Structure 1
Amino acid sequence: MDAVSAVPPLPVVPLPEEQSAEALRLLEGLDAPALWWLSGYAAALARGQAVLPRATAPAREAPAQERLTIVYGSQTGNARRLAEQLARDAEATGLAVRVVRAGAYPQRELKAERLLVVVISTQGDGDPPDDARGFVEFLAGKRAPRLAELRYAVLALGDSCYPQFCAIGRRVDARLAELGAQRLLDAGEADVDIETVATPWLARALHLAREALEPATVRSATMTPLRAAPLAPASEWTRARPYAAALLANQRIVARDSARDVRHVELSLAEAGLAYEPGDALGVWPTNPPALVAAVLEATGLDGDAPVAHDGRTLALRDWLAREREITRLARPFIAQLAERARSSELNRLLAPDRREALATLLASHQPIDLLREHPAAWDADGLVAALRPLAPRLYSIASSRKAVGDEAHLTVGVVDYEAMGTRHVGAASHFLAHAGYETQVPVYVEPNERFRLPADASRDVVMIGPGTGVAPFRGFLQERREIGARGRHWLLFGNRHFRSEFLYQAEWQDALRDGSLHRLDLAWSRDGARTYVQDRLREHGRDLHAWLDGGAHLYVCGDATRMAKDVHAALVDVFVEHGGVDRERAEERLLQLAEEGRYARDVY
């Protein structure tokens, strides 16, 4: 849990003003476990069931030379999950260990570290996760210290659908070596089938960490009440063991004549006990479209009933393609396999280091079926299954608050379904959800997103920028804040192509304006008259935005990472330059500072 940066004012009736101020001072900076402990302890005191303890010294934290430090940078939660898994395994063997989000890591402590594992993902075109930008920039900068006494290991996560696969992990690994640190083991590079690489890599890292630390002092199991709680056990329902959720609603929320299909999907979590917070995501395990499976079989000339043994299992080829293999997203390893089988000089040229932009265009515009048709090759069933990546779940920002909807999770799903190059292109999960009936069981799990949380202080203002389906989490934000009676103001900036046909959740936003739970709504329509985008509205209302932020507001951005998020960030820089009286470098620093304070959060994809 993140430390509480601000505490809501205490009720004025039970406490005199002086005691109220003192209580606020004492509570400032405590994390959630400490606050929960205090609330329960205070309740026990009120019932006469507890006595105040004598002051005791806090539990000793193991010095740097006796502990393993794990730093993670995570955009979608995978790096966090692996870092916490390593921490649990290390603690179970008696090692002193601390696990820290990169954005919360005290950079001044790096020079004192002796054993460090970094688990970090790469986003989009070689970008670090939002919560790791400061950490990566610090390592690359002149302030980074010499690390001659450090032993380290880096587990890099990436997606070979993008040209700069694992670029950030590679950069961190190389930079630590440049600073004089010694590799504990070679960097691991995991694709979307994460466990294939991560599981043996983490086991090896733990073994070498134990050798490096023995006979280090075993960490003390004693914890004071105000010390951070140990890592919580994993949920019963996980990525590896999803819950089969019942479908409650599947409603189109754009006009019938819209060229796009956007669905509002409601799923029941009633029997799962799955808990989530506004800002979290729901992982959905899809089944590939039957028509696309049939097209792949036709293009390769293979028998769908042919048995294929792979990874210790034997399934019919058709089942591998439907439920186990990625056939809607193109990846570099598949292109390399096809280039070899088809003896294609054209594909081989695309894989050259100097063709990165051309490869990026191909990866973004084509699906495997396109290349299978354009470059005929001799395939066998075993080879095709091995060449295709394992199917991965898709993450959707949850568009609801449990306080408002109970044991349900709502999603806003933009359906990918279009014609290109004579082929129908579809998205695996969006097609699966769009065509789900009420008898469908949807395999799901919750992916926490601690970086994208509402402010702990409910009196803080909130600015939400969410064009298109990026508006989803803000529906949950507003539901949550309405349910808790938050005093802070709410400003939503929403954009889409057409007002008449693509104003998502229009009635809900208008109702919220009327009842006062939404204080301001600014809209941008990119295909109605003059092309206007949310970043244009930010610049247009820059003075007001700067005033909100200067007054302590939290700023959230959700949606497309490729263009929208970058354009919005550039607009925010312009706002600080024009209305904050700073140059562009200082404006960038100010935004980074807001991000490190938890007041500028992005959920981009």
Structure 2
Amino acid sequence: MVEDSTIPLLVRVYYGSQTGTASSHAFNFAKELSSRFGLGVQVQVSSLSDTSPTRWNEPSQSRTFNVFFVSSYGDGEQCDDAKFAYDSIIESDFRFENGDTSFGDFKFAMFGFGSSAFDLYQGAARDFQSALISLGAEIVLPYGEGDDVNDRLEDDYFNWKLEMMDSMAKLFKLKEVDTDAVYVPSYKVVELSGEGMKGPSKVAMGEIAASFRDLQFKDKPPFHCNKPYVAEFMNMKVMGANCLHAEIDIRNSKMKYQTGDHVGIYPSNPIHHVERFLQAFGLNSKLETVIGISMASRSSANTATPLWFPSPTTYKAVAQYYLNINKQLSKEMVKGLIQFIQSPDVRDNLRKLVEEPHLLSTIGSYNIAELLLDYQNPVSLDDVPFSWLLETLGALKPRYYSISSSSMLSPTKLDITLRVEAKPFGICGNNIYSILKQKDPSYECTMNYSTTTKLPVFIRRSKFKLPYDSKRPIILIGTGTGIAPFRAFIQERLKANDNRKTGKMLLLYGVRNKSEFWYESEWSSLQGKYEEVFEMRVCFSQDLSASTNRGTRYVHGLMNESADIIFKLIMEDDAYVYVCGRASTGMAKDVKRKLATILGSDETVKKMRITGRYQEDVW
């Protein structure tokens, strides 16, 4: 087919996103596409959850091209946004609305988001791509993948995008507009208060909601991700090195959780980071200035992330509660910033970061404010459009924690167990820790937050669930804070044991040293009281003398020593296996390989996974 370059190219951009990564990149891609090729392209962005695959082969009067951004959830699973679309196109009897069973002319490209720490790396994107091709779709431009391990994802995307744009220009004979054109904002930002101005009567000051209309009902159920419940954190305690236990009061929320679910918590940014950010962009004299924010134009609604917080608000509130000001630097972020810098020396320094990636890696932990204020030539930029900061940094997203209490035992409060880490990864953990400091000033917190003992929370459903039959044995394998859901599982099982016999529970737990053996006295008490049904074996990677077996450092070593009982529980008693911990350590992969060795077959583990007898909750 010969492409008619006089007809605008309709680019349909679809995303399947679990936590917002794929969606933000889809909108970023759409905007850059429009900026680079102007009227030569028309761009539409849609969530895969909002589109029907049965209509994807409908003829269009325009030339049409499709780009998919697909995130893997967990170990290669389709995320919530993409699951329905994917399940539809792999059905053996799938048909389009016109009755066809295959695409006529459907060209596409795809970028996948995932983590190579999982066995099924990019499973969702690769499966989706294969499903489209099996229906006759044609992948005509580079397929790309972004790896979240070692923070390579942004650079992977940046490099793919450059190749993708060049390939699109050649294939569809697109003409680039002036690349030095003035920046076109996606959001319109208007100052509504200041000298001689009377500001609006209602201003959002950190409330989590998509609009002021939603704020009218912010204290009324139902509560969910887009309208969380502001909950009290209580009965907090530090357990050993950098670990915190906290209880969250949900009694007045009417929220209900099930054992194994997650709680989402919206953090705020540390006050010092907020002050530095506003200083870097010349806004420190406008902290409380009220601003109204809206989409800049009708076309912006197609190529920019919808505004995710209520307006009007203030510069300070945006920086503190809504904007990811600690987002890690990337080549794309630095490249975008250069266009607003007047100083030749500063521009040259930043260009080197883009052109020589090893330089950027040396300041990889910097945020954008630190880049301006601390890197080589300190500079404050008064003329960076606030819209560009919104587009580039995106939303301050909730953090998710496995609930470490049983809903049967504790329905009106839930427990969390978390590690408090240093920046840039510990914004939420330190936010929660600062609440403890307010309750007990003897504790020191390196990051200062707003003075509150409450944070917005909501429940996220999980598939990580106990077997319905409480007599089924369970084998629990975890490391570090991966102990959290297992504490909930065991509480639930032992509560059930008050009324009827429960199956054997074997817990294999690995940490670095004794100071990280969280809930140690609790486990010791339970083993003594329920020794017939509960057994715990522990190993310490940095302290062999304290391990259950003094020659074992890691949980797969504990598995090796427990091979006989594991084999019996699984092959004879139909036990369920649960794995929880940090994926980046490789623990989940090691456990799966060791289990296959114990059972004598990879296929047995695969069948257990398919039937729900092998479950993972890894991050």
With normalisation by structure 2, the TM-score equals: 0.59
Q: Following TM superposition, by how much is the alpha carbon of 1:109 offset from its aligned partner in structure 2, in angstroms?
A: 2.4
Asked whether 1:561 is paired with 2:583, we answer: yes
Cα distance per residue 1:310-358 (max 9 Å; x no partner): 6433433322211111133315353443455565567656657x96x99
- Residues 397 and 368 of structure 1: is their aligned pair in 2 closer, same or farther, counting only changes over 3 Å? farther
* Other-structure match for 2:134: 146
- Residues 301 and 126 of structure 1: is their aligned pair in 2 closer, same or farther, counting only changes over 3 Å? farther
Q: Where do 1:30-109 residues align within 5 Å?
A: 74-75=73-74, 82=81, 100=84, 105=87, 109=91
Q: Following TM superposition, by how much is the alpha carbon of 1:475 offset from its aligned partner in structure 2, in angstroms?
A: 0.8
Q: Where do 1:411-426 residues align within 5 Å?
A: 411-417=416-422
* Other-structure match for 1:444: 457
Alpha-carbon RMSD: 4.7
Asked whether 1:265 is paired with 2:246, we answer: yes
Q: Following TM superposition, by how much is the alpha carbon of 1:429 offset from its aligned partner in structure 2, in angstroms?
A: 1.1
Cα distance per residue 1:215-271 (max 9 Å; x no partner): xxxxxxxxxxxxxxxxxxx971011100011222111111xxxxx321111011111
CA contact (8 A) 1:161 1:331 kept: no
* Other-structure match for 2:507: 492
* Other-structure match for 1:244: 230
Equivalent-residue separation in structure 2 for 1:444 and 1:513 (angstroms) = 33
Equivalent-residue separation in structure 2 for 1:396 and 1:165 (angstroms) = 24
Which consecutive unaligned segments of at least 5 residues does structure 1 have? Answer: 1-63, 84-98, 172-195, 198-233, 255-259, 419-424
Q: Following TM superposition, by how much is the alpha carbon of 1:108 offset from its aligned partner in structure 2, in angstroms?
A: 6.5
SS of alignment partner, residue 392 of structure 1 = coil
SS of alignment partner, residue 466 of structure 1 = strand
Report the AA paired with residue 322 of structure 1: Q
- Residues 318 and 100 of structure 1: is their aligned pair in 2 closer, same or farther, counting only changes over 3 Å? closer
Residue of structure 1 aligned with 2:481, choices 469, 476, 483: 469
CA contact (8 A) 2:115 2:149 kept: no
SS of alignment partner, residue 112 of structure 1 = coil
CA contact (8 A) 2:260 2:403 kept: yes
Q: Following TM superposition, by how much is the alpha carbon of 1:443 offset from its aligned partner in structure 2, in angstroms?
A: 0.7
Q: Following TM superposition, by how much is the alpha carbon of 1:546 offset from its aligned partner in structure 2, in angstroms?
A: 3.4
CA contact (8 A) 2:118 2:583 kept: no
Equivalent-residue separation in structure 1 for 2:434 and 2:467 (angstroms) = 37
Equivalent-residue separation in structure 2 for 1:464 and 1:427 (angstroms) = 27
Asked whether 1:597 is paired with 2:597, we answer: no
- Residues 235 and 570 of structure 1: is their aligned pair in 2 closer, same or farther, counting only changes over 3 Å? farther
* Other-structure match for 2:328: 330
SS of alignment partner, residue 414 of structure 2 = strand
* Other-structure match for 1:59: none
Asked whether 1:282 is paired with 2:263, we answer: yes
Residue of structure 1 aligned with 2:592, choices 560, 572, 576: 572
* Other-structure match for 1:187: none
Q: Following TM superposition, by how much is the alpha carbon of 1:302 offset from its aligned partner in structure 2, in angstroms?
A: 3.7
- Residues 308 and 524 of structure 1: is their aligned pair in 2 closer, same or farther, counting only changes over 3 Å? farther
Cα distance per residue 1:451-500 (max 9 Å; x no partner): x111122222212122111111111111111222362211112222211x
Q: Which has the higher helix share?
A: 1
* Other-structure match for 1:180: none
Once structures 1 and 2 are overlaid, which stretch shifts more, 270-279 or 313-322?
313-322
* Other-structure match for 2:410: 405
- Residues 157 and 310 of structure 1: is their aligned pair in 2 closer, same or farther, counting only changes over 3 Å? farther
Equivalent-residue separation in structure 1 for 2:116 and 2:291 (angstroms) = 35
CA contact (8 A) 1:543 1:575 kept: no
- The percentage of counterpart residues that share the same residue type is 23
Residue of structure 2 aligned with 1:379, choices 378, 381, 384: 381
With normalisation by structure 1, the TM-score equals: 0.60
SS of alignment partner, residue 562 of structure 1 = helix
Report the AA paired with residue 616 of structure 2: R
Equivalent-residue separation in structure 1 for 2:488 and 2:230 (angstroms) = 22
Equivalent-residue separation in structure 1 for 2:411 and 2:475 (angstroms) = 25
* Other-structure match for 1:391: 396
Equivalent-residue separation in structure 2 for 1:358 and 1:543 (angstroms) = 52
CA contact (8 A) 1:73 1:101 kept: no
CA contact (8 A) 1:162 1:360 kept: no
Q: Following TM superposition, by how much is the alpha carbon of 1:539 offset from its aligned partner in structure 2, in angstroms?
A: 3.3
Equivalent-residue separation in structure 2 for 1:545 and 1:391 (angstroms) = 43
Aligned residues: 435
- Residues 311 and 494 of structure 1: is their aligned pair in 2 closer, same or farther, counting only changes over 3 Å? farther
Which consecutive unaligned segments of at least 5 residues does structure 2 have? Answer: 1-52, 58-69, 98-102, 104-109, 161-185, 188-219, 295-310, 440-451, 545-550
Equivalent-residue separation in structure 2 for 1:123 and 1:72 (angstroms) = 6
CA contact (8 A) 1:535 1:568 kept: no
Cα distance per residue 1:183-217 (max 9 Å; x no partner): xxxxxxxxxxxxx99xxxxxxxxxxxxxxxxxxxx
Asked whether 1:480 is paired with 2:481, we answer: no
Q: Following TM superposition, by how much is the alpha carbon of 1:545 offset from its aligned partner in structure 2, in angstroms?
A: 2.7
Report the AA paired with residue 559 of structure 2: L
- Residues 339 and 560 of structure 1: is their aligned pair in 2 closer, same or farther, counting only changes over 3 Å? farther
CA contact (8 A) 1:114 1:150 kept: no
Equivalent-residue separation in structure 1 for 2:489 and 2:580 (angstroms) = 12
* Other-structure match for 1:114: 96
Asked whether 1:319 is paired with 2:307, we answer: no
SS of alignment partner, residue 109 of structure 1 = coil
* Other-structure match for 1:457: 469
* Other-structure match for 1:430: 429
